[in-house]
Chains A and B, each alone.
Chain A
């Protein structure tokens, strides 16, 4: 997030796009609901009638996969009606002319047809956002989980840049992170193209500096490695031979389950480190028992870049060890000669090579609570709001992109569009929530949400068992009839092993930049089981 969770409440207008906030990020949901109670205008852009709609002034029920068309249309209204922040555009951005020419060619009626949102509504929301004293954008996987995710994020950011809604409290472009440490894993270099602190792997000097610091003899290539979905493809082709998975469950969380299983089975050597024998761990050659987040010390970086201290609450059972201990054991068995560092020591090492974390230490975290990066040195107070005075690359560049329909489209055989997502009571692949007494029982099995109209035409009643099939596979789930879903659109959570939504999704088409698979628009067919 460019801003902090706490300053969302200061916005006059908040656009919430592709984020089922009250379920996936309930505490941010609370901020939004309270803001609404105080008079903030919430605009929900979502194909589903999510709970937040009850608290919103507007709900733009958008056709799945058409965000870019909406954002470009809004940009057109902002430019055409002179709602841009001239000073901000001229001082802090570049590429405005190209964007202006591009969006002025956007036909609003065409955009309305593509997105399903009437032109008046597009205009009204664009005006409200642009002319608000403070307006904020909150988004989530409903913007990024597309093969066009990068274009979506950038055309969305155009809106903030055109109107100067950035760098002040109650503004900004704010992606919500789905897991406790997605942010930190990215920050610390668990990315194929970045070393810690987003330092590019394509720069030879940077690589040398890291290798020196680590005392490593091993030559590192100056080009990006494979992303998760690419690794799965490479394993299926037999090019990737060994995979080491620490605390992930790709069999349920990754697209196209059959393909994932086939790929993992094709590996020469597969090691999984986890707290349970997950669907993924069952396929491994070696399984290493790990401690849960409740059994270890360490830091986590939250969605608003806040580095916070997690503390050990109880002991790990049996011989389970923390991931830190296990990784150190493996490193030393491979001859790296690491010290047996505590998390506190590792933070010191991390801080030395990760500029954003340079001023973060355990003693500060203990004394001051969380610190928001960038926090480059010991006297720096942390950064609650990014881009107050400037952008890291000087001027922010406008992005010119067109709406492109998803690679895989519905047809006669697979006439409906499947959206995937999360439920309030379940987390990710349900390994933890599914084993927590009381919580587990609330939503014990997978399900598929269908609009009342589709239910009627398919002669389905609440609780009926149906087969949901795509071009890649099928699974069986219970029907939940859901008013507020548009006919032709169905929804499944991806949490459940008994009805794995990711058996249906595809990892074939990837975003050219982020390599994100398109998980939100899968053509499917629903048939009743007799």
Chain B
């Protein structure tokens, strides 16, 4: 709703005098200024939550260790983002999480793009010091072809539950059970489809670990083996920014960079999962010309000749009005421009349209 321009606030972070806008969180201001703070339950697309406590800081005059992702900046605030105590606390949080996490990084599709792995690496934690029983089970699997759920890797950050509610407005997953047994799951452990899932994959996109992964890209390639190309989605007219992940000349998965484009990191089912058609064996790979009633493969030279000759013949025999063209709402601006120029200059007709109306 109607927004007023933000008021400017001054504060110090790690001794650095900084400016911030009223209403920003300490974490946001740190990120804007290149100050690193580890987080697990934070996603800029979601409301601040404060569950993992990894983002703790110290603030002068404030008792204990507030979470930077939920603390709003205030005038004159003085923040410390790292200290031996903070590091100790963070380390024990990570150790505790690892104690109930199925460490199967070898075959985990999130390896290399896992916030837990990164932070364990940062602290030099090689294995979990706790050896007690593991509680979480791999529940939640169902036979959909898009989303893999393995809650033995879940760290209970709640991001999937929140994105499904706050952004998608779907409420497909929520916390079931309590305490150690708690996992995010569908009501009555229904399949995702039966629970009304839209398969937007937003929950996969926010999961910081390997608990939620995309099935179409399973075992197709590691994050570090892919090249990433940012482009525009080819489906509806919203024009979302999509990042395609490519290995050996084939797309293996997609993502949307947070904060970029109209979608700001969000995607729908078509944009996120609608890419493998491009590698379909049904693709046309050679020009075809009809001979004796059948379409047969020919060279480009020949096909283009047949097209040019026939269009010219009909134009000359029946007049420019006997020729028409349908451009495409799926082609680029440049292609559409050239297409209408072709019809208007080679034929001399305005019989040009496309399926804008359909």
- Check A246/B310 contact, CB under 8 A, given A310-B232, A313-B231: no
Are the C-beta atoms of A6 and B230 separated by less than 8 Å?
Answer: no
The interface residues of chain B lying within 8 Å CB-to-CB of A308 are: 232, 239, 241, 261
In the complex, A285 Cα to B293 Cα: how many Å?
9
Are the C-beta atoms of B354 and A182 separated by less than 8 Å?
Answer: yes
- Check A183/B237 contact, CB under 8 A, given A190-B327, A269-B310, A439-B273: yes
In the complex, A134 Cα to B168 Cα: how many Å?
24
Are the C-beta atoms of B327 and A246 separated by less than 8 Å?
Answer: yes
- Check A294/B276 contact, CB under 8 A, given A30-B266, A439-B146: no
Q: What string of 1s and 0s marks CB contacts (under 8 Å) between B249-288 and chain A?
A: 1110000000011110011111001111111101111111
In the complex, A269 Cα to B168 Cα: how many Å?
48
The interface residues of chain A lying within 8 Å CB-to-CB of B356 are: 177, 182, 185-186, 191
A330 close to B (CB within 8 Å): yes
Are the C-beta atoms of A438 and B215 separated by less than 8 Å?
Answer: yes
In the complex, A315 Cα to B318 Cα: how many Å?
40
Q: Which of B18-26, B97-105, B299-307 contacts A (4 or more CB under 8 A)?
A: B299-307
Checking B146, B261, B327, B330 against A180 with a beta-carbon cut-off of 8 angstroms, the contacting residue is B330
Identity of the chain A residue whose Cβ is nearest the Cβ of B323 in the assembled complex? A242
Give the distance to chain A from B244, nearest Cβ to Cβ, in Å. Answer: 4
Identity of the chain A residue whose Cβ is nearest the Cβ of B335 in the assembled complex? A323
B94 close to A (CB within 8 Å): no
A318 close to B (CB within 8 Å): yes
Are the C-beta atoms of A180 and B233 separated by less than 8 Å?
Answer: yes
A500 close to B (CB within 8 Å): no
Identity of the chain A residue whose Cβ is nearest the Cβ of B306 in the assembled complex? A286
The interface residues of chain B lying within 8 Å CB-to-CB of A326 are: 304
Identity of the chain B residue whose Cβ is nearest the Cβ of A225 in the assembled complex? B350
Are the C-beta atoms of B308 and A327 separated by less than 8 Å?
Answer: no
Q: Which of B51-59, B108-116, B129-137, B337-345 contacts A (4 or more CB under 8 A)?
A: B337-345
Are the C-beta atoms of B268 and A27 separated by less than 8 Å?
Answer: yes
Which of B266, B303, B315 has the most C-beta atoms of chain A within 10 angstroms of its own C-beta?
Answer: B303
B194 close to A (CB within 8 Å): no
Q: Which of A61-69, A81-89, A331-339 contacts B (4 or more CB under 8 A)?
A: A331-339
B312 close to A (CB within 8 Å): yes
Which of A28, A190, A282 has the most C-beta atoms of chain B within 10 angstroms of its own C-beta?
Answer: A190
In the complex, A240 Cα to B311 Cα: how many Å?
12
- Check A188/B231 contact, CB under 8 A, given A425-B269, A427-B274: no
The interface residues of chain A lying within 8 Å CB-to-CB of B260 are: 369
- Check A301/B287 contact, CB under 8 A, given A25-B238, A276-B282, A294-B231: no
A288 close to B (CB within 8 Å): yes
Are the C-beta atoms of B307 and A271 separated by less than 8 Å?
Answer: yes
Give the distance to chain A from B322, nearest Cβ to Cβ, in Å. Answer: 4
The interface residues of chain A lying within 8 Å CB-to-CB of B267 are: 27
- Check A276/B353 contact, CB under 8 A, given A220-B348, A285-B310: no
Are the C-beta atoms of B355 and A350 separated by less than 8 Å?
Answer: no
A133 close to B (CB within 8 Å): yes
Are the C-beta atoms of B262 and A39 separated by less than 8 Å?
Answer: no
B106 close to A (CB within 8 Å): no
The interface residues of chain A lying within 8 Å CB-to-CB of B274 are: 427, 432-433, 436, 439
In the complex, A4 Cα to B336 Cα: how many Å?
24
Give the distance to chain B from A327, nearest Cβ to Cβ, in Å. Answer: 5
Give the distance to chain B from A410, nearest Cβ to Cβ, in Å. Answer: 23
Checking B3, B279, B324 against A244 with a beta-carbon cut-off of 8 angstroms, the contacting residue is B324
Q: Which of A103-111, A483-491, A510-518 contacts B (4 or more CB under 8 A)?
A: A510-518
In the complex, A349 Cα to B340 Cα: how many Å?
13
In the complex, A292 Cα to B268 Cα: how many Å?
20
In the complex, A184 Cα to B168 Cα: how many Å?
29
Give the distance to chain B from A225, nearest Cβ to Cβ, in Å. Answer: 3
Checking A12, A218, A319 against B1 with a beta-carbon cut-off of 8 angstroms, the contacting residue is A12
B169 close to A (CB within 8 Å): yes
Checking A218, A219, A247, A437 against B331 with a beta-carbon cut-off of 8 angstroms, the contacting residue is A247
B234 close to A (CB within 8 Å): yes
Count of chain B residues near A, Cβ 8 A: 113
Are the C-beta atoms of B326 and A243 separated by less than 8 Å?
Answer: yes
A226 close to B (CB within 8 Å): yes
Are the C-beta atoms of B200 and A26 separated by less than 8 Å?
Answer: yes
Are the C-beta atoms of A303 and B237 separated by less than 8 Å?
Answer: yes
Give the distance to chain A from B335, nearest Cβ to Cβ, in Å. Answer: 4
The interface residues of chain A lying within 8 Å CB-to-CB of B342 are: 327, 330-331, 334, 336
Are the C-beta atoms of B234 and A188 separated by less than 8 Å?
Answer: no
B125 close to A (CB within 8 Å): no
Q: What string of 1s and 0s marks CB contacts (under 8 Å) between B28-61 and chain A?
A: 0000000000000000000000000000000000
B333 close to A (CB within 8 Å): yes
Are the C-beta atoms of A370 and B239 separated by less than 8 Å?
Answer: yes
Checking B268, B280, B307, B339 against A435 with a beta-carbon cut-off of 8 angstroms, the contacting residue is B280
In the complex, A294 Cα to B151 Cα: how many Å?
34
Q: What string of 1s and 0s marks CB contacts (under 8 Å) between B200-216 and chain A?
A: 10000000000000011
- Check A322/B335 contact, CB under 8 A, given A242-B322, A425-B199: yes
The interface residues of chain B lying within 8 Å CB-to-CB of A307 are: 333
Are the C-beta atoms of B340 and A188 separated by less than 8 Å?
Answer: yes
In the complex, A134 Cα to B350 Cα: how many Å?
41
Give the distance to chain A from B320, nearest Cβ to Cβ, in Å. Answer: 8
In the complex, A325 Cα to B128 Cα: how many Å?
58
Are the C-beta atoms of A220 and B344 separated by less than 8 Å?
Answer: yes
In the complex, A309 Cα to B198 Cα: how many Å?
28
The interface residues of chain A lying within 8 Å CB-to-CB of B250 are: 314
Give the distance to chain A from B324, nearest Cβ to Cβ, in Å. Answer: 5
In the complex, A289 Cα to B323 Cα: how many Å?
21
Identity of the chain B residue whose Cβ is nearest the Cβ of A144 in the assembled complex? B357
A367 close to B (CB within 8 Å): no
Checking A28, A134, A178, A347 against B2 with a beta-carbon cut-off of 8 angstroms, the contacting residue is A134
In the complex, A187 Cα to B327 Cα: how many Å?
12
Which of A4, A246, A435 has the most C-beta atoms of chain B within 10 angstroms of its own C-beta?
Answer: A246
B7 close to A (CB within 8 Å): no
B358 close to A (CB within 8 Å): yes
Give the distance to chain A from B263, nearest Cβ to Cβ, in Å. Answer: 5
In the complex, A277 Cα to B288 Cα: how many Å?
10
Q: Which of A93-101, A159-167, A248-256, A467-475 contacts B (4 or more CB under 8 A)?
A: A248-256
- Check A290/B284 contact, CB under 8 A, given A133-B2, A184-B336, A350-B333: yes
Measured CB to CB, the residues of B under 8 A from A are: 1-3, 144-146, 166-169, 193, 198-200, 215-216, 229-241, 244, 246, 249-251, 260-263, 266-270, 273-280, 282-290, 295, 300, 303-308, 310-312, 314-315, 318, 320-358
Given A221-B350, A225-B351, 8 additional A-B pairs, CB 8 A: A55-B169, A187-B333, A218-B346, A244-B325, A289-B285, A293-B332, A297-B332, A311-B230
